[in-house]
Chain A
C-alpha cells in the first residue's frame, strides 16, 4: 500500500515535469485592465422604502485575463474586482441614499475562433463573492439594508479584432449572469438588532433566477496604441431580488474608461527562447 502511494506520487511529479517542459515554449501574457466607470443609478429597496431613488454611480474595476496553463489555446481565466458607490435621492430630493458594493469573481472560459475574420467567442463560468450595503440617511431601526452573496455564474463573450481607421481595435461584449448560489436577506420586518441579539435563522437563501436575477453587461472597445491600450466602453447592471416579500432593484448604467496592457514575466538568466510562442488571453 505504502509502495503504491510512493509510486503514484512519483508518477504525478514525473508528469508535472514533462508538462512543464512542454509548456516552456509557451508564454501566457497577463492582460490587466484598470478602469473607472461613471453613470446613473436607480435603487428601490422595500425593506427601507417603497420609493424609487435615482442618482449617480461610480466605480473602480480591475480585470485580469490570462490563457490557462493546461490548454492555453482553448481556455482563458478571468478575474475581476469591482468597487462601486452610488448616491441617490428620492423623487422630491429630500432624502439621501448611499450604496457601496465590492465584488470579486474568478472564472474560466472555453474559447473558439469563429469562421468570420477577426471574430472569437467564449463560454464559461465564474464564481463570485460580493457584499454591499444600502444606507438611507434618516436614522431609525431600519436605516440600512445589507447585501451579500456567493454565486456561480454563466458568462461568455464575443470579440472582434480588427482595424478602424488604421488603428488596431478590439471590440468585446461580455454578459455575466449568476445561475445558482446563496444570498443574505433579513426577514420582512426583522430588525438588524434582532440579528445582533443572535437570531440568525433564515438569513441565507438559495438563489435562482426567480428570486435573484442579476445581469452584468459589459461592452468595450480597446484601442491599441503600442503596448498600452485605451479602453472605452459601457457597463450596465441589473440587480433584482425578491425574497421574504421584500424587493430590491438596483439598475446602473455607466460609461467606462481605462487602460489595459499585457505583460510577461521572464527569467533574465534564461532570456526568451526563439521558439517561444505567445498566447494572449484577449487579442
Chain B
C-alpha cells in the first residue's frame, strides 16, 4: 500500500513541472520565427482570408539572413505582416511602425472636413472633444465624430441632443473616424434605441489552431435610461472607407436599427479586436486576435455596406464648387422622410 502511495506521488510530481515556453534567439532568424509563430497561433482571420500561412513562412524564410540590418529585417517583416491585409496589424520598432494602408488608399477618400466647415457652416460650428456639430440650414442636425478614442460624458451628450431638439433629423458623420474604444460605441448607440438590442457576437480563439474558436458570445446594448436624453427621430450615418475599427462596429450596429440609414461608401472594416505581443528584439506586434460579428453573425472585417440604394461617392468636381455630394444626398434623403 505504502509503495503504491509513493509511486502515485512520484507520478504526480513527474507530471508537475515548470511549463515550458518556446524561446527564440534575438537574431534575424529568431525574430522572424517568433513573429511568424505569434501570427500563426493567435491571428483570428487566417481561415477567413484564405491565407496559407505556412507558404508565407517558406517564402519569407528564404529571405532571412544572419547579417541583414535592423532596417532590412523590419522591412521584410513588415512586408510579411502586410500579407494579412489588415489595418489592425502593425509592427513597431524604435525607428518605424508598419502600416497596411491599402484598405483605404485604394479607395476614394469621400470626405473633406474643410469643405463642410467652410461651405456648409461658414466656419461657425460648435466643437467639444472629437465632436463638431451644428444645424444645417435645412433644419437638420449635423454631428461629425472624428474618433472613438475620445468619448463624452452622458451630460455632454444630453446637451448636444437637446441642442438639436428642433431638428427634424440628425446626420451623424463618422467619415475618417479610425475607431477607438468600444465602450464609446455603447455610449452613443444607447441614445438611439428604446429597448435592449442584440449588438453582435464576440468570437475569441480558444487554442493555437487556425480553426480553434469558442462559440460566439452574444452581447447586448441597453437604452441609456437614468433620465438621459434619447434620440427618436431619424438618423443618417455617413461613412467612408476610413470609417474603421470601433467606428466600423458602430456602423454595423446602427445599420440594423429601424430609424437609421447608412449613406456613403463601404466602411474600412477592422472588426478584429487587436492584441499586442512582442519579438525577442523588443519590437511590438499588434494584430487582430478576436473577431466581432454583427447581429446577423456576419463578419464585418471587410467593411459594412451602406443601406440599400444609399451608396454614394463624393463628386470631386462638385467638391470644387463647395458640395459634398454624400452630405447633399443625406440632406435630400432626410428631406424626403415622412416625419
A joins B in a complex: yes
Which residues of A are in contact with B by a Cβ distance under 8 Å?
44, 46, 48-52, 90-95, 138-143, 187-191, 193-194, 197-199, 202, 208-210, 213, 238, 240-242, 244-245, 247, 249, 251
Residue of A whose beta carbon sits closest to that of B183: A193
| Contact flag A141-B277 (CB < 8 Å), given A92-B282, A189-B206, A194-B290 | no
Q: Cβ of A210 and Cβ of B16 under 8 Å apart?
A: yes
Q: List 13 A-B contacts (CB under 8 A).
A: A90-B278, A91-B282, A140-B275, A141-B276, A188-B205, A189-B42, A191-B204, A191-B273, A191-B289, A194-B217, A199-B202, A210-B15, A249-B18
Name the one of B26, B214, B286 contacting A187, with C-beta atoms under 8 angstroms.
B214
Q: Which of B206, B279, B282 contacts A188 (CB 8 A)?
A: B206
Chain B residues whose CB sits within 8 angstroms of the CB of A245 once the complex forms: 207-208
In the complex, how many angstroms separate the beta carbon of B47 from the nearest chain A beta carbon? 14
* A140-B92 Cα distance, complex, nearest whole Å: 13
Contacts known (A50-B38, A52-B23, A141-B289); A187 close to B206, Cβ less than 8 A: yes
* A209→B204 contact, CB < 8 A: no
Distance in Å from the Cβ of A9 to the closest Cβ of chain B?
42
Say yes or no for B182: interface residue by CB 8 A criterion.
yes
In the complex, number of A-B residue pairs with CB atoms less than 8 Å apart: 121
Chain A residues within 8 Å of B204, by CB: 187-191, 194
Residue from the list A52, A191, A241 in contact with B202, Cβ < 8 A: A191
Q: Is the CB of A213 within 8 A of B16?
A: yes
Report the nearest B residue to A240, measured CB to CB.
B18
Counting from the closest, the 3 A-B pairs by CB-CB distance are A209-B16, A189-B205, A92-B282
| Residue in B94, B280, B286 whose CB lies within 8 Å of A51 | B280
Inter-chain contacts of A198 with B (CB < 8 A): 219
Q: Which of A48, A143, A249 contacts B19 (CB 8 A)?
A: A249
Known interface pairs A90-B278, A140-B274, A197-B202; A188-B212 also in contact (CB < 8 Å):
yes
Give A242 to B207 CA distance when docked, in angstroms: 12
Is B256 located at the chain interface by the 8 A CB criterion? no
Q: How far is the CB of B294 from chain A (nearest CB, A)?
A: 16
B281 contacts partner chain A, Cβ-Cβ < 8 Å: yes
**Interfacial chain B residues near A193, Cβ < 8 Å:** 182, 273
CA distance A108 to B204 in the complex (A): 43
Q: Is the CB of B205 within 8 A of A140?
A: no
Partner pick for A138 among B24, B37, B214, B284, CB 8 A cutoff: B284
Interface residues of B in 230-287 (CB under 8 A from A): 273-282, 284, 286
Q: Give a binary string over B29-40; 1 marks a CB under 8 Å from any A CB, 0 the rest.
A: 000001001100
Taking CB as reference atom, which chain B residue is nearest A209?
B16
Q: In the complex, which residues of chain A have a beta carbon less than 8 angstroms from the beta carbon of B1?
A: none
Q: A51 and B278: CB pair below 8 A?
A: yes
> Which listed residue (B16, B21, B44) contacts A46, Cβ 8 A?
B21
Contact A139 B276 (CB under 8 A): yes
A240: contacting residue among B13, B17, B207, CB under 8 A: B17
Query: Which chain B residue has the least Cβ–Cβ distance from A193?
Result: B182
Interface flag for B22 (CB, 8 Å):
yes
Q: Which residues of A contact B275 (CB under 8 A)?
A: 140-142, 189
Select A194's contact among B202, B207, B278, beta carbons within 8 Å. Answer: B202
> How many Å lie between the Cα of A133 and that of B262 in the bound state?
42
Q: Which of B24, B94, B290 contacts A189 (CB 8 A)?
A: B290
Cα–Cα distance between A44 and B49 once the two chains are bound (Å): 31
Most B C-beta atoms less than 10 A away, residue of A51, A95, A138: A51
Give the CA-CA distance A191 to B217 in the complex, in Å: 12
Please determine whether B22 and A50 come into contact, CB atoms closer than 8 angstroms. Answer: yes
Q: B276 to A44, Cβ gap below 8 A? A: no
The reply to whether A242 and B19 form a contact with Cβ atoms under 8 Å apart is yes
Chain A CB within 8 A of B6 CB: no
- Taking a contact as CB atoms closer than 8 A, the residue among B23, B208, B219, B282 that contacts A90 in the complex is B282
The answer to whether the Cβ of B12 comes within 8 Å of any Cβ in the partner chain is yes
Q: Let me know if B20 is at the binding interface, CB within 8 A.
A: yes
Given contacts A142-B276, A247-B21, contact A209 B219 (CB under 8 A): no
**Smallest beta-carbon distance B288→chain A, Å:** 10
Q: When chains A and B are docked, how far (Å) is the Cα of A197 from the Cα of B205?
A: 17
Q: Which residue of B lies closest to A177 (CB)?
A: B16
Smallest Cβ distance from B122 to chain A, in angstroms?
39
